[in-house]
Amino acid sequence: MSDVVVAGVGMHPWGKWGRNFVEYGVVAARAALQDAGIAWRDVQFVAGADTMRNGYPGYVSGATFAQALGWTGARVSSSYAACASGSTALESARAEILAGRCDVALVVGADTTPKGFLAPNAGDRPDDPDWLRFRLLGATNPTYFALYARRRMALYGATEADFAQVRAKNARHGLENPNARYRKDFSVDDVLASAMVADPLRLLEICATSDGGAAVILTSADWAKRHGVADRVKVRAISTVTPTFPQTVIEMPNFSTDSGVAFSADAVTPFKAAIAQGAYEESGIGPEDLSLAEVYDLSSALELDWYEDIGLCKAGEAERLLHDGDTEIGGRIPVNASGGLACFGEAVPAQALAQVCELTWQLRGQAGARQVEGATVGITANQGLFGHGSSVLLST
């Protein structure tokens, strides 16, 4: 398989700006083009990550961003996979390059979000587990995250202090990220003193909804070489797996075969573990080769689960990694050096691309005060609704 190069990355800072999502995407796209040293007219394919909250332009994001940047005749695609939309769009662009249909692709995701919790889209969907948890259980996202936290406490003895330590770690990392929305240091005691939202999770342990944008320029290795574009960072794998039967209900911990206690571990790989496993199998790179990881910390408790899901340790050992300092910058395998969603919040179609931006800066040695020394391999992990998995593996 030919190499695909990450030639440029760019972001619009996260916040609560209240402007049109297209503005954020255009800022991010232009930053990525400038980073790559590539002119907009050289882009042959535009892959947009969709946002469902911003009307028809959000449903056809590829064409929306292409129009905003200026029609050039480039081919477009638009991808929706909830929180995994960015990775799905990235895979669409990579596939075009690998198929020889283009040499230069732009991938963009941006969002403007409402205040409060993200609600499900309208309409009855009785076979959709997320619709069911909202409508039948009344389980908004914080409640859902709390169920996962309680599961971890019951299975492995995790404590509220463990969850608070994850948030304190990410706060320290996010202090050094100019694109982060929240850049404030919090101690474990500060976190534990914040308001309880969904027991055992507190206000500082649940990510907010945010506005923001991110963009990535991909090129073929041959094109990069011919045009003098830096080709240090390569896409080694993109995993967009779905669950494996019998995990037919995928989003309800303790009520489904997603639970590790519901079936033999030898029967089928749990869905979240399969996400990163797909990237490892495609690339031939394993968790032992990683320099860092960016994972989907919708809550501080979920980050601990991801340590195990991406193979950094065995089940029940995540707390040890945390307390040993392994997942800190300067530790064996830093996790969320960007500050994670704890410091950014959710700008849904942009967040998987933001993870790729962070890995790219880290692998180039351009992350400034949050730099992971000697980083050569990084992985992202992300999960969307409706059975979308998302993992991107980059290396130098």
Residue 259 has φ and ψ, to the nearest 5°, of -75, 135
Alpha carbon distance 61, 51 (integer Å): 8
Question: What is the chain's alpha carbon radius of gyration, rounded to the nearest angstrom?
Answer: 20
Alpha carbon distance 358, 336 (integer Å): 9
pLDDT band per the 50, 70, 90 thresholds, residue 253: very low
pLDDT band per the 50, 70, 90 thresholds, residue 254: very low
pLDDT band per the 50, 70, 90 thresholds, residue 263: very low
How large a percentage of the chain has pLDDT more than 70? 93
Q: What is the pLDDT of residue 352?
A: 97
How large a percentage of the chain has pLDDT more than 90? 81
Helix (H) or strand (E) holding 353: helix 348-364
- Indicate the average pLDDT of the chain: 92
Helix (H) or strand (E) holding 98: helix 85-98
Structure tokens at 319: 């707390």
Alpha carbon distances (Å) from 137 to 121, 127, 130, 301:
16, 14, 10, 21
On the question of pLDDT at 381 being above 70, the answer is yes
Alpha carbon distance 276, 355 (integer Å): 14
Give the DSSP per-residue string, 150-186: HHHHHHH---HHHHHHHHHHHHHHHTT-TT-S-----
Summarize pLDDT for 340-372 with one digit per residue, the tens: 999 999 999 999 999 999 999 999 999 999 999
pLDDT band per the 50, 70, 90 thresholds, residue 130: confident
Summarize pLDDT for 69-118 with one digit per residue, the tens: 999 999 999 999 989 999 999 999 999 999 999 999 999 999 999 887 77
Give Cα 256 distance to the centre of its chain: 24
On the question of pLDDT at 1 being above 70, the answer is no
All structural domains of the chain, each given as residue ranges with its CATH number in brackets, are 4-116+211-231 (3.40.47.10), 129-206+236-395 (3.40.47.10)
